[in-house]
Amino acid sequence: MPKLHTRLTALGSPCEFQLYGASKDQLDEVAAACASELGRIETKYSRYLDDSIVTRINQSAGTGTFTRLDDETKNLFAYAQTAFDQSDGLFDITSGVLRRAWDFKSGRLPNTDELRDLCKLVGWKRVEMRGEEIHLPRPGMEIDFGGFGKEYAADRLAGVCHQHGITSGLIDLGGDVCIVGPHPDGSPWLVGIRDPRDPERAMASLPLSRGSLATSGDYERFMEIDGKRYCHLLDPRTGWPITGMAAVSVVADQCLVAGTATTIAMLKGHSGAHWLEKLGLPYLWVDGNRRTGGSLWPKRTPRNEAPATQAS
């Protein structure tokens, strides 16, 4: 059976498609459709683009001008509300403003006064919703879909594949993996999970024939000062990086759910594993002392067996 294996960059991340189809023409068609859908999502929701709906909402902060939402965006905000509630306020899409104080390439801690002032701009509960319209009440407030944008895109691309008759394949958007279906012979994909202290290696590989796998870790963007690691995952209540967990991986039917669950577990620190246990999703965790656990851990493979980026 013909196979398509292609790589591209989108949503600020390396993306990879491995798809099987009935013909080269079918695979070329679905690859073009997937690239188009990625471009649509990025154009619509990137905070870096001047004409995205996210930018329009942010530019209207504090002006009293409400922005009308289409059904897709309204549903994403409803999901953000659910994630906020389920995380006890830790998953907050207004917390992106805190990045203004953090430059992880600088090797310097932020000014505490600046961080305190930025925390005053964080707060999903402050966001004003009026029917199908939204407004950020304070100048300088922002919303940012970066916390779940790639995962949402991965689910959308899997849907595009199914619409084009693809039943065997894998979508990988910057490490967030969505399984379209098993290999043509029915065998599962082996998806590697990075070792957070040796990210070029896999500490485990999971056989997946369906569903999605997402991972959050303190190795994605970080700096070390006086032997202490400061990562990009910030507590919206304090503006400071979280501590406790080094990485969390979750398997779920939807990549959106898996990705949100990993982020919330990381934000919850040492209580994140207990929260995941109650959630009932398969998971794996590694803490800052390299201790491991979770329902997926018994399926581990030797640490030096496979590159973490490999899916085969």
Q: What is the pLDDT of residue 311?
A: 52
Contact 130, 64 (CB under 8 A): no
What pLDDT score does 142 carry? Answer: 97
Domains, the chain: 53-143 (1.10.3980.10), 188-312 (3.10.520.10)
Tell the residue number behind the tokens 């707060």, with chain if given.
123
Band of the pLDDT at 1, cuts 50, 70, 90? confident
pTM: 0.91
CB 54 within 8 A of CB 218: no
Euclidean distance between CA atoms 31 and 7, whole angstroms? 10
Task: Give residues with Cβ within 8 angstroms of 48, minimum separation 6.
Answer: none
pLDDT tens digits along 148-186: 999 999 999 999 999 999 999 999 999 999 999 999 999
The answer, yes or no, to whether residue 10 has pLDDT greater than 60, is: yes
C-alpha to C-alpha distance for 186 and 182, rounded to whole angstroms: 5
Asked if 234 contacts 98 with a C-beta cutoff of 8 angstroms, the reply is yes
Per-residue pLDDT tens digits for 257-288: 999 999 999 999 989 999 999 999 999 999 88
